[in-house]
């Protein structure tokens, strides 16, 4: 009976792992839902890559899938689309009129998944859409230039 019990336990464990592996999507309602991380998690990063598979179901004004920093003092980094259009922009604000923006006119379809990646650091800012470099500049900043940040 022991082999049958071990086999049964192994099958149950395998089935549980398979069920867990099939649901790897975080779905937000696009209105008030968000994920909040401790702000100090990224304060000292001088280089970073932020990436995700993203899908928009509507173009709301400046909706974004990633933002870090604080509004007061204009110290923030994020990715959104411009106004209510499919123009994407990766930005780093270090002051009120001190901003680095990488805009990309993309032919994104609503309801379609795309992969976005934003790279920051000494090699400059780089913005990737579906694995293709679509914009870059030489600005070497990353999370560390934002100063101490509250929750991200």
* pLDDT number for residue 20: 52
What CA–CA distance (Å, rounded) separates 53 from 16? 25
For the entire predicted model, the pTM comes to 0.72
* Residue 84 in tokens: 């209510």
Specify the pLDDT at position 85.
Answer: 79
Comparing 57-61, 116-120, 139-143, 148-152, which segment has the lowest mean pLDDT?
148-152
Q: Where are the domains of the chain?
A: 39-146
How do residues 94-131 score in pLDDT, each as one tens digit? 877 788 888 888 778 889 899 999 999 999 999 999 99
| CATH fold label, 39-146 | Jelly Rolls (2.60.120)
d(CA 114, CA 52): 8
For residue 126 the two structure tokens come to 């780089």
Which residue has tokens 């790279």?
A: 119
Confidence at residue 143, expressed as pLDDT on a 0 to 100 scale: 84
Question: Pairing between strand 75-81 and 64-70?
Answer: antiparallel
The pLDDT assigned to 17 comes to 45
Chain center to CA of 120: 13
Distance CA 127, CA 144 (A): 19
Mean pLDDT of the chain: 76
Please say whether the beta carbons of 149 and 43 come within 8 A: yes
């Amino acid at each position: 009976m022991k082999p049958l019990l071990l086999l049964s336990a192994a099958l149950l464990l395998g089935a549980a792992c398979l069920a867990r592996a099939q649901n790897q999507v975080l779905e937000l309602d696009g209105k008030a839902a968000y994920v909040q991380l401790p702000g100090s998690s990224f304060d000292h990063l001088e280089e970073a890559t932020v990436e995700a598979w993203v899908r928009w179901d509507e173009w709301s004004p400046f909706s974004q899938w990633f933002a870090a920093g604080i509004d007061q003092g204009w110290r923030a980094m994020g990715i959104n689309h411009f106004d209510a259009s499919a123009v994407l922009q990766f930005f780093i604000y270090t002051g009120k009129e001190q901003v680095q923006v990488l805009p990309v006119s993309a032919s994104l379809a609503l309801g379609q998944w795309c992969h976005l990646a934003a790279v920051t650091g000494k090699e400059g800012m780089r913005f990737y859409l579906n694995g293709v470099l679509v914009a870059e500049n030489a600005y070497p900043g990353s999370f560390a230039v934002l100063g101490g940040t509250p929750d991200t």
